[in-house]
Amino acid sequence: MVDGDRKADLLQNWRCGATLALPITRRQSLKAYASTGVHTRIGTDFDLFGIVWQIRWGGGL
Residue 1 lies in a domain: no
Q: What are the residue ranges in the chain where pLDDT is below 70?
A: 1-2, 8-11, 43, 60-61
The pLDDT assigned to 19 comes to 97
For the chain, helix (H) and strand (E) counts, in that order, are 0, 3
Residue 37 lies in a domain: yes
To the question of pTM greater than 0.75 for the whole model, the response is no
Residue 49 lies in a domain: yes
Residue 35 lies in a domain: yes
The pLDDT assigned to 59 comes to 72
User: Domain range spanning residue 45?
Assistant: 12-55
The pLDDT assigned to 39 comes to 83
The pLDDT assigned to 44 comes to 77
Residue 60 lies in a domain: no
The pLDDT assigned to 29 comes to 96
The pLDDT assigned to 50 comes to 98
Domain count, the chain: 1
- Taking the C-alpha atoms of residue 17 and residue 49, their distance in angstroms, rounded to an integer, is 9
The alpha carbon dihedral of 20, 25, 26, 27 has a sign of: negative
Chain centre distance of CA 42: 19
Strand order in the sheet with 48-55: 12-23, 28-42, 48-55
- Taking the C-alpha atoms of residue 16 and residue 25, their distance in angstroms, rounded to an integer, is 29
